Structure 1
Amino acid sequence: MSGLQIVSFIIIFSSVLLQTHSADGVVYSAVLPHTVTALTDSCVLIPCTFIISTFEEKLQKTKQIYGIWLKKTPLFGKDESSVVFNSSKNIIQGFRHIEMIGNLTERNCSTVFYNIMMNHSDPYYFRIEMEPNVFRATFNTNPHNASDSSKTVRINVTDSPQPPELIFSPDVSKSVMEGTAVNLICSAEAPCPKQPPRLSWTYIPKSANIITQLQEKPDKTHSVFSSMTFNASYMDHKMNISCTATYPRNISNNTTVNSTVMLRVMFPPKETRIIIKPSASVTVGTNVTFTCQSKASPSNNMTYTCNE
């Protein structure tokens, strides 16, 4: 795969805006994806940003700012087992490693959870603490129902990633004319940008040009995209083109998934030839068979003429 580049990619997405008013009237909100799908024995990035009213003013009064992640419940302080990460006490609980890659002073709470296991499937809540006692809050949209996890981020863990998506232009599952410029785009989710899947093609036409990139989407999650462009040739007719995504894992074997499309090309007669049987010298009176062969698509409309 060619070198990965991080670029912007525009799609329609859905995220959660967690907006709440504190007792002193402070408005605070966080933007998180509804769900992130993680692969076992890999890592997952939770993109996270937040807004707190008069944040810059509060930041001037703050000596330390901490990030906390809670599992299953937004309630903090009643059950320490719900705390999976607390940067103020260097607590990492239930995970081998958690890294907050975002800068909290820049309202970025993005976090990477490493070595994901099946029992990590749960809703997670982000909490911020600005000390000494400047501002403390858990970003929960429903203060009247602390058990409501419908508007926070949920990690869904799977052993098998989804097959890559194939998008093509024009529709190669139908017939395209020989010489037509064809563009195939293969995309695979990259929940762990530090270990993105590797995309490969099983059939590459001679004229193909391939560009592969790691792209950040508007919700700050990532996908790997591989674009293959070529001019359709009669030699590509009925060829199966597969895109394979190989996901690296830390301990277990890598996982591969693929998607396939058959290319159908329309072209006039090619490689026309005459076959003579027997091909060696014959005596007068021997029966000789002449067979005319040609490749074409569609082939049911071909006619043959014989000229002496």
Structure 2
Amino acid sequence: MFKMQIISSCTILSMLIFNILSAGISSRSSVIQGHGKEDWSITFNPPEITAVPGLCALISCTFTYPEAAKPIDNVQWIECKNGQCKTDIFKGKVSTQQLEEKETETERIKMLESDLTKNNCSTIMKDIKAEDENKYAFRVEGQKPHKITYKPTVKIIIQDEPKMDIPPLREGVEANLTCSAPFPCPETPPEITWWIKTRGEHITNLEDDITLITRNLYISTLLLTPTSKMHNATVGCDVSYGDKTISASRTLEVMYVQTLQILGDGTVMEGDTLRLNCTVESHPPSSDPVWRFNGTADKIRNYTSAENLMITNVRKEHAGIYVCEMTYMRETLNASITINVIRKEAIQMQVDIGMIIGFLCGISVSAVIFSVVLCCHESWQSRDKMHEVMATDTDTEVILEVFYDQQGHQIVYY
């Protein structure tokens, strides 16, 4: 808020100073002399004012009149349509050099300087409407018969959205985008916000780099480095005048080109079909591709259709280097692929050898596994096996039970 007050005060001061300085510069002003007397003149700076509906418009002007017309009795602002200036929208009665405003429009229209001896006719029109887009004339009535409706007139233009200027964009090359909005009212300086919405519907706010204030415009400049993802994105600027906001947006066109590619399998079996596709993403679109085989286009001319190349019943002589070439913005793009053609007999021999090697490897692995399992089984049996020994004499039958512990020591039970 404090920043806005400073801008407002500085703007009003600069406009008033400019009005005073402009009064003596007739070569750059819109001036007319009335009734052939050089003392009647008016200067509007600027002669056209852009206003936003619902806000106000500042008419900045100075005027002169002859000594014989003093003191001024009445002043008026008159609306002009179709070349006719008839309708009073403001009328002021001058009493002791002070302006006494009259009529209902004075609630909406007010002169900044009530002392007309200062030759300042600057006026603010509030609550601008679409129908206010017209030309307006200033009228002075002095001592009879000295009175005049000044010409030229001032024009009010209604603008309900900002104006955007976007230069041609190219990927990786910085560009300045501008958004200009009317600055009609010193009391409500605008604030501009930039934003961009990419193809993924992601909205990002952007910071502007330079902001300039002219007599009647507020200009914001955005330094943008375009990328291919910004192509067809939407960029916009919102201009806020307190509670009032106007907006504008544009679709970006970014010139870009990505790497040219050839899609397809580099190995083809004899008798099968070779399919290659040449593709590149760019804006604007690249030219149609030109295919070459081993340096010439004649041998495969009948096999190409746009970006596609297709050869049925491939033979050994179709093996080699295939090149695709396109033109983008006077730049030549190309890519190549080497095609190998394999005979079916060689494929079958490779399959047979592979099967034999696989079979032998399988047998070898199985034998090793079987041997390991057998050894483990014998070891387990030797550790846990229980022996029974029968010992018999003439008097006693003795049963011996023999066991082995984990270390292999023999334990005998009777």
Matched residue, 1:85: 91
* 1:128–1:37 CA distance, 2 compared to 1 (3 A): same
C-alpha contact 1:214 1:224 (8 A) present in aligned 2: yes
SS in structure 2 at match of 1:19: coil
TM-superposed deviation, 1:264: 0.8
- How many residue pairs align between the two structures? 237
C-alpha contact 2:135 2:154 (8 A) present in aligned 1: yes
Matched residue, 1:260: 250
Q: Normalized per residue, which structure has more strand?
A: 1
TM-superposed deviation, 1:184: 0.7
* 1:181–1:111 CA distance, 2 compared to 1 (3 A): same
Distance 2:91 2:146 in 1: 16
Which runs of structure 2 are paired with 1:14-33 in the superposition (5 Å)?
A: 16-21=30-35, 25-32=37-44
Distance 2:240 2:212 in 1: 15
Matched residue, 2:57: 44
TM-superposed deviation, 1:209: 4.6
Which runs of structure 2 are paired with 1:90-169 in the superposition (5 Å)?
A: 90-95=100-105, 96-101=107-112, 104-117=116-129, 123-128=135-140, 133=143, 136-141=146-151, 151-155=152-156, 161-169=159-167
> Structure with the greater relative contact order (CA < 8 A, sep ≥ 6): 1 or 2?
1
Distance 2:144 2:53 in 1: 38
Distance 1:39 1:84 in 2: 21
Is the counterpart of residue 71 in structure 1 residue 66 in structure 2?
Answer: no
Q: Per-residue displacement from partner, 1:92-144 (whole Å, max 9, x unpaired)? A: 423324332357555432111123346656553323467xx599533434xxx
Distance 1:211 1:66 in 2: 47
Q: Per-residue displacement from partner, 1:191-243 (whole Å, max 9, x unpaired)? A: 33432443221229899652223311xxxxx1111101133345544432222
Matched residue, 1:278: none
Distance 2:138 2:33 in 1: 13
SS in structure 2 at match of 1:18: coil
* 1:212–1:20 CA distance, 2 compared to 1 (3 A): same
Q: Normalized per residue, which structure has more helix?
A: 2
Give the unaligned 5+ runs of structure 1.
Answer: 9-13, 74-78, 142-150, 217-221, 270-293
SS in structure 2 at match of 1:232: coil
Matched residue, 1:195: 188
* 1:234–1:26 CA distance, 2 compared to 1 (3 A): closer
Q: TM-score, normalised by structure 2?
A: 0.44
Aligned residue type for 2:164: L
Matched residue, 1:274: none
Distance 1:208 1:123 in 2: 38
Distance 1:92 1:21 in 2: 28
Aligned residue type for 1:168: I
SS in structure 1 at match of 2:104: coil
Question: What is the Cα-based RMSD across aligned positions, in Å?
Answer: 4.7
C-alpha contact 1:185 1:225 (8 A) present in aligned 2: yes
Distance 2:72 2:212 in 1: 35
Distance 2:38 2:77 in 1: 22
TM-superposed deviation, 1:83: 6.1
Matched residue, 1:211: 210
Q: Which has the larger radius of gyration?
A: 2
C-alpha contact 2:209 2:221 (8 A) present in aligned 1: yes
Give the unaligned 5+ runs of structure 2.
Answer: 16-27, 81-85, 198-203, 260-278, 287-332, 339-414
TM-superposed deviation, 1:45: 1.2
TM-superposed deviation, 1:153: 2.9
Distance 1:118 1:206 in 2: 31
TM-superposed deviation, 1:188: 1.9
Which runs of structure 2 are paired with 1:232-251 in the superposition (5 Å)?
A: 232-246=226-240
TM-superposed deviation, 1:29: 1.4
Distance 1:213 1:237 in 2: 28
SS in structure 2 at match of 1:21: coil
Aligned residue type for 1:191: P
C-alpha contact 2:137 2:154 (8 A) present in aligned 1: yes
Distance 1:258 1:231 in 2: 20
Matched residue, 2:269: none
SS in structure 1 at match of 2:55: coil
